[in-house]
Structure 1
């Protein structure tokens, strides 16, 4: 059995590793310093890191309670919530960007009255980048935390409630510490997904230098004029994500186990 599994497993590894090896093979190593040191690159990297970190914080604040609700509700409510959580995973990101624009844009369902009453327009701002990243990254955190909640020993929560702790105290002092590895795992995956987001970002937030131009957007722009620069920027983004995931491997891997 192990030999039979080794063949497709090896092909899967080759399929995943080949593009990365190709990226390394075609990398302009001598020009990396030039590309990485450019003011535009530093600005795009700063935007990516700040917005992805903000989006991850929002995902944690909203996603942990949502995951807890998913483990407790039953029937049609759970099915509706499940669809809402899973849909962004299978929806093309550019479609998600269009949907965000139709709701939060200047002429959108919510964006129009906000702009009319307060003169605030969300698209093409750092806030739009964060919202697009939350839209694509939130499902990763919810699924990771939900799995951790289902694997947790509910008797600990019951014991705390029996001793007089209220629902909020039980959730804050017992449930959250129990699923902390799952939360960290989901946060790491959400952050990695957010920092690499392109489709929803370019559609909803655009390409405004210093405001909404992230590294993936910069890679796309460079690919049209200088493929070597696109490779250099891709390596930068790959390195940032790899460093974060490797640094958290002992914590987030345990949360997915």
Structure 2
């Protein structure tokens, strides 16, 4: 097995920092949209609720290339949103901002599912009591519902970050593979494997795997089920 050279180790920082930047911004966008959608779905009583939830969860099951194609149709130069953005001098295709958009779309369902489950676990009687006391709906959300659901939401946010960090297919289609500009960790791994550079590929895989394992462990610790299992083990001992 080839060992990575010092130049390879130095070159890893560029896709690593870019991946962290892309995943960070994508997580912010996915969190804002996911929490809002989860709150609405958790308080909406309709037969169409599950249909809307299924449509919003599609990026979790669709092939990444399909998501990338949809984004190209939407944000490409001939796309209806792409033309509108170009009129303001904004272009997403083959930019790191395009990578953010692609990663945000695939990470969105992670936040949606976790946040919706967390909001459904909130005791609605507390919200109703606050409303009876004259508290505004916005204050009820920010002072009662959101704090009580925060641990579940944070677990979803961490899963979304891990998903955005490892995104490959949609990012490659929308942002391309431009070293130093749009080449994230997953794309750098693909390029290293194609070039037969085992040393760089092994090191990139180890860095990505270690980051994802740490994030998943933290997300598991934040979930209510994980806390109950640990409490049970402590009680048994």
TM-score, normalisation: structure 1: 0.82
**Superposed displacement of residue 98, structure 1:** 0.8
Q: 1:70 and 2:41 equivalent?
A: yes
* Contact 1:36/1:233 (8 A) holds in 2: no
- Equivalent residue, structure 1, for 2:234: none
- 1:1-257 alignment, distance < 5 Å: 28=1, 31-32=3-4, 34=6, 37-39=9-11, 41-75=12-46, 77-115=48-86, 117-228=87-198, 229-247=200-218, 249-252=220-223
- Equivalent residue, structure 2, for 1:7: none
Alignment CA distance shift 1:122-1:244 (3 Å): same
**Superposed displacement of residue 219, structure 1:** 0.5
Rounded to whole Å, the distance in 1 between the matches of 2:70 and 2:22 is 20
TM-score, normalisation: structure 2: 0.88
Alignment CA distance shift 1:50-1:122 (3 Å): same
Rounded to whole Å, the distance in 2 between the matches of 1:155 and 1:144 is 21
**Superposed displacement of residue 84, structure 1:** 2.2
Gaps of 5+ in 2: 229-237
- How many residue pairs get aligned? The number is 227
Rounded to whole Å, the distance in 2 between the matches of 1:33 and 1:247 is 32
Gaps of 5+ in 1: 1-27
RMSD: 2.1
Which 10-residue stretch deviates more, 30-39 or 173-182? Answer: 30-39
